[in-house]
Chain A
Amino acid sequence: MIRFDHVTKRYAPGAAPALDDVSLEIARGEFAFVVGKSGSGKSTLMRIALREQMPTDGEVMVAGHELRQMSSRQVPRLRREMGAVFQDFRLLPGKTVTQNVAFALQVIGKPRHAIRTLVPETLEMVGLADKGKRLPHELSGGEQQRVAIARAVVNKPQILLADEPTGNLDPATSLDIVQLLDRINRTGTTIVMATHDSAIVNEMRRRVVELQEGRVVRDVAEGTYTPERTTAEPASQDKPEAPVSWEPEPEEDFDPSAGYEGGA
């Protein structure tokens, strides 16, 4: 469904690559987490898959489209087969929940009767059937993210990309959201979710692709947030500054959530 073939992305010539020779294949119907620190290339990977960015080198295949050879006129067709959700929800503040979801169909020219059935159906699926007339600011963060998910899947895409969808949510709500994504995955939608949330990754036990400085350093089925061997060791969750014996480069930027294990 998604294939990266020796993909390199440099934002400026000569700069360190955001993605460095990444090869990756995600099959139809799969649910994959992409993990890694900030700046490890997760978002770049997502943006390339959405063709918001072009790779500097390598081939990318998404839903049967060869992205490098695709003309900009064909991009809309690709995006209609994909859904995307983000950390910041990206809802239109002036439109109600129903209007926000319907908007995604209106702008691709779906007939009115299709919109009338698809929108309530999708809102029902994400559990917001009774909140259709609310405005985004009247909803909780979790509900807003559900609206964003509804908007992403209302056109029944083959692929759903989620770039840190739980980044702004509390742990319980995050789990609700991921369980919603899991349900969507079970209907056959391929899901790729970039995340920092180790609790969720460890809870779900799905495929984990770890990026580090733009390279794939780990790709395991039913994986955890950090390599299994370290889960056996005591996690140092309270004192990020303290020397960490198993960490080879202690001066590196330390993401507090990275050491947090088994939170669920």
Chain B
Amino acid sequence: MRLGFILGEIWTGLRRNLSMAISVILVTMVSVFLLGLGMLAQRQADTMKGYWYDRIQVSIYMCTEGAPQPNCNEQAATDDQKATIESQLKAMPEVDQVFREDAQEAFDRFREQFRNSPIADTVQVGDIPESFRVKLKDPTKFAVVSSQFEGAPGVASVQDQEKVLKKFFQIINGVTVFALGLASLMAVCAALLMATTIRQAAFVRRREISIMRLVGASNRFIQTPFILEGVFAALIGSVLAGLAIVGIVQFFVQGYLTTALQSTTTLVGLGDALVVVPILVVVGAALAAASAGVAISRYLKV
């Protein structure tokens, strides 16, 4: 009896106040969606960290013709120099593995990565430096390798991959902060909108409410439909946001980005999205319940 009655009241309330309900749904959706993006970005960062740390820690770039580094004297590294570097690397106890990427491979990879960009047509074999990708037994021993090969003949630069990644992670963190900032701003909007909606709904139903009070309905009974109404609208918004997140991962990240970036990196997958979505739904509902509760204690004093 009670449940059916309350559900009926919720439905009537939402229908009567449809435009407000829709705006609550949309604002919640945007807010929760941004939160989801932030969480996905973090998961992306974690995925990449794992991926990169498993592979390369140090890249030693060899000189190319006309390379700007002073060590190169605008000369390309000779085969002797390359061989020396490679054998020295292999002799080092700190080094786990060495991959050599020759000029042709570097060129191919570059062309592939930038195939949608006009820059790909202007580069030639030899423009992209040949490099040694070194995997260390202990990724923190970067300085040992770096100090030995920095300035060696034919070496243009030694890069700690972690440093490059750090910059990348900083960008991802920036994106996360931005997304979460926007998400909390939208959450404030959602809460205020919810309060206004409830105030309006309480006004529309003031006759019913006054009768309920008169005949002795409990405060909880009077307030529950309003809270559920808010939670219900927010749930719809959160579920829509969850679908959008899944859609983005499925069709944009997996469908487009993965082919666009080829295998240079791993990206978040559906599994990540499915972890994020339930959190979003719970957060959305909790946000709604909290703001509805506050609004009711202000506008529905019994």
| Chain A residues near B (Cβ < 8 Å) | 50, 72-73, 75-84, 90, 92-93, 103-104, 106-112, 115, 151-152, 155
Contact check, A77 vs B216: say whether CB atoms are below 8 A apart: yes
Contact check, B216 vs A106: say whether CB atoms are below 8 A apart: no
- B contacts with A, residue count (CB < 8 A): 18
Q: B67-75, B158-166, B171-179, B204-212: which one contacts chain A?
A: B204-212
User: CB-CB < 8 A to A83: which residues of B?
Assistant: 215
Residue in A72, A79, A93, A151 whose beta carbon sits within 8 Å of that of B216 in the complex:
A79
The residue on A at minimum CB distance from B218 is A76
User: CB-CB < 8 A to B213: which residues of A?
Assistant: 79
CB contact under 8 A between A92 and B208, given known A76-B216, A79-B216, A109-B2: yes
CB contact under 8 A between A107 and B212, given known A72-B302, A76-B218, A112-B1: yes
- Complex alpha-carbon distance, A152 and B215, angstroms: 7
Contacts A75-B302, A93-B207, A110-B1 aside, 12 further interface pairs with beta carbons under 8 A come to A79-B213, A82-B216, A84-B214, A90-B210, A90-B211, A103-B211, A107-B211, A107-B217, A108-B217, A109-B1, A111-B1, A155-B215
Residues B1-27 near A (CB distance < 8 A) = 1-2, 5
- Complex alpha-carbon distance, A205 and B233, angstroms: 57
- Scan B199-229; emit 1 where CB is below 8 A from any A CB, else 0: 0000000011011111111110110000000
User: CB-CB < 8 A to A93: which residues of B?
Assistant: 207
User: CB-CB < 8 A to A90: which residues of B?
Assistant: 207, 210-211, 214
- Complex alpha-carbon distance, A101 and B211, angstroms: 11
The residue on B at minimum CB distance from A109 is B2
Residues B107-130 near A (CB distance < 8 A) = none
Contact check, B1 vs A104: say whether CB atoms are below 8 A apart: no
Contact check, A76 vs B211: say whether CB atoms are below 8 A apart: no
- Complex alpha-carbon distance, A111 and B2, angstroms: 8
CB contact under 8 A between A107 and B302, given known A90-B207, A92-B208, A112-B1: no
User: CB-CB < 8 A to A76: which residues of B?
Assistant: 216-219
